[in-house]
Amino acid sequence: MNKKIVVIGTGYVGLPAALMWAKSGATVVGVDINENVVRAINERTMLINEIELQQLMEEPQVRSNLVAQTHPASGDVFVIAVPTPVHPLKKVADITYVESAIKSICPYLKKGNLVIVESTIPPMTCRNTVKPIIEEITGLSVPNDILVAHCPERILPGNIFQEIIFNDRLIGGMNEESSQLASQIYSMFVKGNLYLTDDLTAELSKLMENTYRDVNIALANEFSMICEDLGVDAKNVINYANKHPRVNILNPGIGVGGHCIPVDPWFLKEIAPYNSRLITTARLINDEMPSRIASKIRHGVSNIDNPKIIALGATYKKNCEDIRESPALEVVKILKQDGYSIKHFDPLVPTMQYDNLMSALKNADLLVILVAHTILFQELENNQEQIKNLMRNYNILIFDQ
């Protein structure tokens, strides 16, 4: 299909999609307000550390079809993939990035264009924010003149390339024509099913997917506290409970991180404060986990004067490099605020100077594993003797398995 697609926001979500459309033959303009991101794309350096995406960047089709710049351009389809964080204290959605991205494309919009919002957005955002902004600035009507669809992304950092192709996808058009055109655009590279629905259903569905995960993780975390009080291994009990054919309890952990799961349930709470008691409680339970883990670490060194603690794993989940909203960072922050001497390393986070780990372990009293990267366990196993010799007290606490 000979379309020009303008992708606004080329981060974890926008860039992989831009690469896939470019590979599929579309002319793609990646737009980002961050000049470093734009430069990296044009120099074909990858900011997301996933090998298949790096290879994709080098493909001839991508080289000739994708260009990045800091300002929008005219096109047939505009895809909005900018952040939608939650306010850290008020826990309400911050959709200012979406608003300014929509405003930035308005001067380029022409009758018949399609605007796709991929960002995760609160319910009614297409109707109450996207539509009025476009109509006011362009004088064109939505969705008759300018088609609009919400097509939320479901990718998992660490496995983006597979997921962007094979995941099923929702296509939530503001009218039938919007859904049909958006569906054609995604069928250029998506091999999963495309389910055509309306914008509000797509907005709610995306939020419910992550809320479901959050509530189930909270359930596992709460159960782990019950077991802990009784001196029982929660994972063992969960393993047995999961032998029931209709039970699938998740693993308890150190909290919930990333760009989506700790954020999206708040969007439902905001729109339905009186009907979201379970959702809110789950959020609070999961947010509380880092301070509970910090207490356990304190307890682990309670009989040592001025203990030296080494924490390993900083990302929000294992085997990825994404540290956004990471509960591991929160645990370390709490202990530092308490005055503990704690050093933090992660082999997958380039800025965390993992090379210095062995020297940091000298005379350490406690080694804490907060994120169970596969490579981390391999290295600990390979260097076990050396670590034992280096540490003053060979104590290890493993929280995330």
Ligand X SMILES: NC(=O)c1ccc[n+]([C@@H]2O[C@H](COP(=O)([O-])OP(=O)(O)OC[C@H]3O[C@@H](n4cnc5c(N)ncnc54)[C@H](O)[C@@H]3O)[C@@H](O)[C@H]2O)c1
Structure tokens at 94: 């911050």
Nearest distance, CB of residue 108 and ligand X, angstroms: 13
Strand partners, 115: 78, 148
The smaller minimum CB distance to ligand X, of residues 32 and 214, is found at 32
Helix (H) / strand (E) element for 162: namely helix 160-166
- 141 closest CA partner among 104, 115, 169: 115
Angstrom CA distances, 338 to 94, 297, 333, 341, 399, stand at: 31, 12, 9, 9, 20
- Sign, CA torsion 174/179/185/191: positive
Tell which residue, 173, 108, 169, has the closest CA to residue 138.
108
Binding window for ligand X (CB under 6 A); candidates: 77-85, 124-132, 278-286, 294-302: 77-85
Contact with ligand X (CB under 6 A): which of 55, 64, 100, 128? 100
Restricted to residues 215-254, the positions that interact with ligand X (CB under 6 A) are none
Smaller CB separation from ligand X, 100 or 128: 100
Stretch that binds ligand X, among 27-35, 175-183, 290-298, 354-362 (CB under 6 A): 27-35
Window 147-166: residues binding ligand X (CB under 6 A): 153, 155, 157
Per CB under 6 A, the list member of 169, 259, 344, 373 interacting with ligand X is 259
Instruction: Indicate the burial class of 88 (C-beta count within 10 angstroms; 0-12, 13-18, 19 or more).
Output: exposed
Q: How far is CA 111 from the centre of its chain?
A: 34
Residue 8 as a binder of ligand X (CB under 6 A): the answer is yes
Size of the residue set binding ligand X (CB under 6 A): 27
Q: Choose, by CB under 6 A, the member of 40, 41, 57, 82 that binds ligand X.
A: 82
Selected binder of ligand X within 1, 34, 136, 389 (CB under 6 A): 34
Cite the active site residues.
206, 260
Question: Using CB atoms, what's the residue nearest to ligand X?
Answer: 11
Report the distance separating Cα 291 and Cα 287, nearest Å: 8
Strand order in the sheet with 147-150: 66-69, 27-31, 4-8, 77-80, 114-117, 147-150, 169-173, 194-198
105 vs 376 by CB, closer to ligand X: 105
Does position 32 interact with ligand X (CB under 6 A)? The reply is yes
Q: Looking at 33-41, 171-179, 224-232, 301-309, which segment touches ligand X (CB under 6 A)?
A: 33-41
CA gap 326, 93 in Å, rounded:
19
Q: Which of 42/363 has CB closer to ligand X?
A: 42
Smallest CA-to-CA distance from 286 within 211, 222, 372 is with 222
Q: Which stretch binds ligand X (CB under 6 A): 98-106, 107-115, 171-179, 367-375?
A: 98-106
For ligand X, the binding residues (CB under 6 A) are 8-14, 31-34, 37, 81-84, 97, 100-101, 104, 119-120, 153, 155, 157, 259-260
